Amino acid sequence: MVQGTLYIVSAPSGAGKSSLIQALLKTQPLYDTQVSISHTTRPMRPGEKHGEHYFFVSKEEFRELIEHDDFLEHAEVFGNYYGTSRKAIEQVLSTGVDVFLDIDWQGAKQIRERMPHARSIFVLPPSKDELDRRLRGRGQDSEEVIAKRMAQAVAEITHYVEYDYLIVNDDFDLALLDLKTIIRAERLRLGRQKLRHDGLITKLLAD
């Protein structure tokens, strides 16, 4: 069985990483690609569903999960906690399915330490003005929150050098194509292709 690849996708809030991942999943069958559903202590936003977008838990429940070492990574962002189930990720990867993690640079760092074979992708906005426009366009955050997110974005962007791939989300369709290209290239790596086409290779090399 070919082992699936774990993809770490990070970006400052408003850069469009979640939209890119969701658009990608619509073009990929579930037996090929899935997105990891994280645990979080932040309040549920309009339109979100428990178990579909996140597993929404209390801070007390989250701390208990940490104590039991149930998370592959966890981090605190804007006063709320986010974490990824270790067991769930490992189980899906073992079936050959690629998994996408939508996490910040703190979580990405933890993942790379525990799973060095994971691939990481950082998404940049085309400009600060465009990032500000996207954050305001959500209509969900106050001026104070937007200001904090803009300041945090600059700090987050400095970590782009820690990633394997860099995508600038200016033209959404082009950024999505870049993301698909990365996946395609990873699936064509020698190790995965050798396992997938072992029978063919054996026949081709037979006397």
Please write the tens of the pLDDT for every residue from 183-204: 999 999 999 999 999 999 999 9
Q: In terms of residue numbers, what domain contains 183?
A: 6-36+97-205
| pTM assigned to the model | 0.82
What is the 3-state composition of the chain as percent helix, strand, coil, each rounded to the nearest 5?
45, 20, 35
Tell me, yes or no, whether 188 lies in a domain.
yes
Tell me, yes or no, whether 90 lies in a domain.
no
The stretch 164-176 carries a mean pLDDT of 96
Beta strands in 103-200 (DSSP E): 119-124, 165-168
- Looking at the 3D structure of the chain, how many domains does it have? 1
Residue 172, domain CATH: 3.40.50.300
Are the C-beta atoms of residues 9 and 153 closer than 8 Å to each other? no
What does DSSP assign to residue 100?
A: E
Are the C-beta atoms of residues 160 and 122 closer than 8 Å to each other? yes
Tell me, yes or no, whether 158 lies in a domain.
yes
Are the C-beta atoms of residues 22 and 112 closer than 8 Å to each other? no
Q: Is the dihedral of CA 169, 21, 17, 105 positive or negative?
A: negative
- Phi, psi at residue 85, to the nearest 5°? -65, 120
Strand order in the sheet with 165-168: 33-35, 98-102, 6-10, 119-124, 165-168
- Counting Cβ atoms within 10 Å, is residue 196 exposed (0-12), middle (13-18) or buried (19+)? middle
Please write the tens of the pLDDT for every residue from 79-129: 999 899 888 899 899 999 999 998 889 889 989 998 999 999 999 999 988
The stretch 170-185 carries a mean pLDDT of 96
What does DSSP assign to residue 16?
A: -
Tell me, yes or no, whether 86 lies in a domain.
no
Are the C-beta atoms of residues 18 and 102 closer than 8 Å to each other? yes
Tell me, yes or no, whether 12 lies in a domain.
yes
Beta strands in the chain (DSSP E): 6-10, 33-35, 39-40, 55-56, 71-77, 80-85, 98-102, 119-124, 165-168
Q: What pLDDT, on a 0 to 100 scale, did the predictor assign at position 139?
A: 64
pLDDT classification of 137: cutoffs 50, 70, 90: confident
Which amino acid, 179? L
Are the C-beta atoms of residues 53 and 39 closer than 8 Å to each other? no
SS3 36: coil
